[in-house]
Amino acid sequence: MTMTKRKLGNSGIEVPPLMLGGNVFGWTIDEAQSFKVLDGFLDGGFNFIDTADIYSRWAPGNRGGESETILGNWMKSRGNRARLTLATKCGIEMGPGKKGLSRKYLFEAAEASLNRLQTDYIDLYQSHTEDLETPLEETLGAYADLIRAGKVRAIGASNFSAPRLEAAIETSARLSLPRYESLQPNYKLYDRAGYEDALEPVCRKHGLGVIPYYSLASGFLTGKYRSEADTSKSPRGAGVAKKYLNERGFRILKALDEVAAAHHATPASVALAWLIARPGITAPIASATTTDQLQDLLKAVELKLDAAAMDKLNRASG
């Protein structure tokens, strides 16, 4: 597959317009199945992968780091680290005293992630959430040292408010420190206002890369969940039922179905293609638990939605 790569802010890193989410590795799929999905992703011509140290601490029996460990084992077994653009995140609590973006903890978290990933460097190291107790100068200074040490290539932010993101960028410029080159927001057809109203102007103003998570609304935008009965299909089902099974959700699904039928595609491909076509979006993040699901995701990159399709989706989700 030939595709136009996109720049990740001013980092010099170029990436394909789709990112594979690693939150399912070690949670809803085991290592062997994770390897199959990862192999299929790389074989499809893609190489941009996202994970976090916290994945998947919430699952019974897990401690966090499961996803990074699986990714590390896969890269070691395949010898393919140099082919990948690898992103991970830190800052959410991993245990007593293990959270935040202080200098001390950033160094500790980075080393732990590098060990689990079995690599010498992280391409995109992201602050997983704001830490209002730590000065931005301290956090960005620590990142500067990690970059100087060759352990990190670029940094990004996730779940930041617009004022905090703007303040971080101003601090970087004022003190000549590395800046956040990307934002990872919760943005998709169902959830638009939070990003479009406040965060998008900041990202566009500063030329930040944008890599939205929950791009498929935990599977809802694939059409997998259309009734309460469907929600028993997945560990995510209860949350899907509570948030998306409503009049607006069904209106969006109807539009996805209609556009998918017209373009001989699936709702999942259409939902991702809508994001890929949005101004300023670098690469939506999507997860797959099977190679069949993965193919739906990869096809989104080739799917070109016309103005009528974009308008239908915009009106349904507005």
**Residues assigned a catalytic role:** 55
* Residue 228, Cβ density class (10 Å: 0-12 exposed, 13-18 middle, ≥19 buried): exposed
Tokens of 257: 């179905």
Q: What are phi and psi of 101, to 5 degrees?
A: -125, 30
Residue 35 to residue 33: CA distance in whole angstroms? 5
Phi-psi sector, 308: left (phi>0), alpha (psi -120 to 50), beta = alpha
- Cβ contact 53:112 at 8 Å: yes
Could you check whether the bond before residue 56 is cis, i.e. omega within 30 degrees of 0?
Answer: yes
* Residue 143, Cβ density class (10 Å: 0-12 exposed, 13-18 middle, ≥19 buried): buried
DSSP structural state of residue 286: E
